[in-house]
Structure 1
Amino acid sequence: MGLTGWYIHHHGAGHLTRFRAVRPHLPGEVVVFSSLPRPGTLPAGTTWVRLDRDDDGDPAGADPTVGGLLHWAPLGHAGHARRFAAITGALAERRFDRFVVDVSVEVALLVRLLGVATVVVTQPGDRSDTPHRLAYASASRVLAPWPAGVHGLPAQPALVEVGGISRFDGRTREVGATPGTVLVLGGGVTERDLAAAAAATPDARWQLAGSSARTWIEDPWDALQSAEVVVAAAGQNSVADIAAAGARAVVVPQPRPFDEQVATGRILTGRGLAVVRPAWPGPDEWPALLDQARSLRPDWSQWGVTGAARRAAEAIAQVGA
């Protein structure tokens, strides 16, 4: 199997969550590179290399996009230099058979320039800009964590669409939905908005599984199963988790670069999988929205969650084998 490198972007928790879902299916040793702190526990055979941050300070005048050629390579930033030096040093010291990049155009190009085959994880939205096209063209494999044909990408030999990758893939549904329960997944929702929505729907019981210490749920599988309606953003992990639970959902895409979540929201609407709204609804909208979501009969099997993490691991292991 050899040695696999894996770059995890530090924005949010989704990239780390995806790694955790795929890693149990990937044999061999894995070295992770990330600006995120090392998690408390790691799978056997996994090493964590903590990288310096390169997004602090004022980038004005640092030409971070190199005139549009790249996404982020600021001039004169010591942290940026040290993170690339750490990756370069590791690849010079040991022979890596493949390197997963989730996500960074610059890391993908660096690793390929150092002679290591890359697996670039792609994201939804419009990725037709020069940096993305360069990263994809240089990759041995482009891994898409959604079902085949969903985002209408041009067919190419390197592209592998594995289905939505969920941490709950393989779990069985043990309880049914409890009438009147609403689960809100993720952060980005203010307590004021949540209180207003709850006040407008007195027959519903709202629960927030958020990112703060007060609302954090380490394993929300039971909450997902028992919720009559799930409210979430259109991030890839959230949608895959909802699909794994077969839940009815109201999805509110959040602003992201390249219209990532907006693109996913359009697909969910087109396939009748969720009720989608462009922004957090006003209090008066919630009674009708919850009724709409309750009336859904979503066929989440089309999201391809079952076996997606295993298929991703297989696609990765084939590179450099």
Structure 2
Amino acid sequence: MAKPISFFVHHQGRGHAQRTMAIVRELPASQPVSVLTADPSLFDGFERDIEIVPLPNMIGAPVPTPALYDQPTPAVMHCVPLGLAPMRQTMRRILDHLDDRGTGLFVIDVSAELALLARIASVPAIKIRMHGNRSDAGHTAAYDACTGMLAPFDARLEQPDYPDWARAKTFYSGGLCTSSQRRDDRAEARRALGLPAERELVVAITGGGGAGTPYAPLTMAARAAPDTLFVTVGPLHREGHETDFANLVNHGWVSHTSDYIAAADIVIASAGDNTVHEIMRTGRPYICAPEWRYFDEQQRKAESLAAVGAAIHLPRWPGDLEGWRDLLERARALDIECQRGLHDPHAAARAAGWLMSRMDTLWQEETRQGRRAAPQVSIAATGT
């Protein structure tokens, strides 16, 4: 029987879970799969038969004493407060599961600390790559500890400062879009959404991982371009002093974001992985307004998109009318041919195939011959 593949899925936002489901769908039906996550509801309705292992939600857990709280964080770790029972329970549950199932590959999306834990526990790990300023000791150690990294984007979007030794152990799946729905035709999408057929349409999109699209700057956009219809999708961040305009309409949460992307003449969106690749798949002028994320993840991704000409990087929302008019003109002039190929319709299948190949490479002798005599390792001899 094939060794199981276990996934750790971070529960912030929806993207980590959606990416995992897209990849798992492409794994062989006979491949045992388990998912460890602090929010099992992210996998409600998933059609594949997988084992879900609920983990404690450690976010916000109070540290018991001021002295424990004052202890400095080790350089090779990011978030390891002392004295937390939920943290011990999480680590124990993960280790017990990996041990009980005999996991052959642990795919981590995402946690630098769990990559180190997997190596200490003698479990081969794969880390999902994300953009950002990740040259710190924690990320470097995690990359070093893994048997490989999976980058769910095109190699052309790689950061120039990503070290060569890490690049050599990274598999680039191509742009992985987790949405199965698609409607590319602009006119058809507008009819389906009840939007004007001929009016210039700018769609501003925010996903579930942040605070929402800032509404005040969009009111300035509506004033700057009164003949353009601005439609927002997803949550909005309101400050309470904004003036509404007839050409600025909020559609809130929607079930098919891809329809709005298809309907748009220009898309304003953050740099979330799935949003980026939905836009690349459809091909629309893209103003990338990165949201704050740890390690400047979205800023670096926006820089990479702008470097290949696939988007306009918007580090700061315009606060004046001329700033908005200039931005919209730049978007209208963007050559969307630069987006071609940054989405790969087979990316999830490529990622799944690579995971299976890593499993085969790491375990093939045991698989072919059963347990056999292996090189004897003396822990004492390592000097640790």
Query: Same fold by TM-score, threshold 0.5 exceeded?
Result: yes
The yes-or-no answer on 1:42 pairing with 2:46 is yes
Which residue, out of 260, 268, 280, partners 2:305? 268
After superposition, residues 21-60 of structure 1 pair within 5 angstroms as 21-27=22-28, 28-39=31-42, 40-58=44-62
- Note closer, same or farther for the CA distance 1:65–1:136 as it changes in structure 2 (3 Å cut): farther
> 2:171: which partner in 1?
160
> 2:330: which partner in 1?
292
> 2:294: which partner in 1?
257
Structure 1 Cα separation of the partners of residues 257 and 141 of structure 2: 38
The yes-or-no answer on 1:100 pairing with 2:107 is yes
Unaligned runs of 5+ in 2: 190-196, 237-249, 361-384
Structure 2 Cα separation of the partners of residues 283 and 76 of structure 1: 50
> 2:230: which partner in 1?
206
The yes-or-no answer on 1:181 pairing with 2:189 is no
| DSSP 3-state at the match of 1:67 | coil
The Cα shift of 1:232 comes to 0.7
| DSSP 3-state at the match of 1:116 | coil
The Cα shift of 1:278 comes to 0.7
Is this contact kept in 1: 2:206–2:235, CA < 8 A? yes
Residue type matched to 2:295 in 1? Answer: F
Is this contact kept in 2: 1:162–1:312, CA < 8 A? yes
- Note closer, same or farther for the CA distance 1:65–1:223 as it changes in structure 2 (3 Å cut): farther
Q: Percent identity?
A: 30
The Cα shift of 1:246 comes to 1.0
- Note closer, same or farther for the CA distance 1:214–1:229 as it changes in structure 2 (3 Å cut): closer
Deviates more, 1:192-201 or 1:66-75: 192-201
> 1:281: which partner in 2?
318
**1:49-95 CA distance string (max 9 Å, x none):** 22112221456743686322211221111111111111112112211
Structure 2 Cα separation of the partners of residues 219 and 265 of structure 1: 24
Is this contact kept in 1: 2:290–2:315, CA < 8 A? yes
The Cα shift of 1:229 comes to 0.6
Structure 1 Cα separation of the partners of residues 163 and 341 of structure 2: 20
Deviates more, 1:260-269 or 1:211-220: 211-220
> 2:381: which partner in 1?
none
Structure 2 Cα separation of the partners of residues 49 and 215 of structure 1: 32
Structure 1 Cα separation of the partners of residues 49 and 359 of structure 2: 19
Is this contact kept in 1: 2:8–2:107, CA < 8 A? yes
Deviates more, 1:150-159 or 1:71-80: 150-159
Is this contact kept in 2: 1:183–1:209, CA < 8 A? yes
> 1:4: which partner in 2?
5
Structure 1 Cα separation of the partners of residues 17 and 9 of structure 2: 6
Is this contact kept in 2: 1:2–1:29, CA < 8 A? yes
The Cα shift of 1:171 comes to 4.6
TM-score by length of 1: 0.91
Structure 2 Cα separation of the partners of residues 38 and 111 of structure 1: 25
The Cα shift of 1:135 comes to 1.0
Is this contact kept in 1: 2:124–2:146, CA < 8 A? yes
Unaligned runs of 5+ in 1: none
Residue type matched to 1:295 in 2? Answer: A
After superposition, residues 55-204 of structure 1 pair within 5 angstroms as 55-58=59-62, 61-62=68-69, 66-149=73-156, 150-152=158-160, 153-156=162-165, 157-168=168-179, 171=182, 173-175=184-186, 179-186=199-206, 188-204=212-228
| DSSP 3-state at the match of 1:5 | strand
> 1:19: which partner in 2?
20
TM-score by length of 2: 0.77
- Note closer, same or farther for the CA distance 1:65–1:217 as it changes in structure 2 (3 Å cut): farther
> 1:315: which partner in 2?
354
Residue type matched to 2:17 in 1? Answer: L
> 2:242: which partner in 1?
none
| DSSP 3-state at the match of 1:303 | coil
- Note closer, same or farther for the CA distance 1:218–1:65 as it changes in structure 2 (3 Å cut): farther
Structure 2 Cα separation of the partners of residues 246 and 64 of structure 1: 49
Higher RCO (CA-CA < 8 Å; seq separation 6+): 1
| DSSP 3-state at the match of 2:349 | helix
RMSD: 2.4
**1:11-48 CA distance string (max 9 Å, x none):** 22221222232221122232111112423211322222
Is this contact kept in 2: 1:183–1:227, CA < 8 A? yes
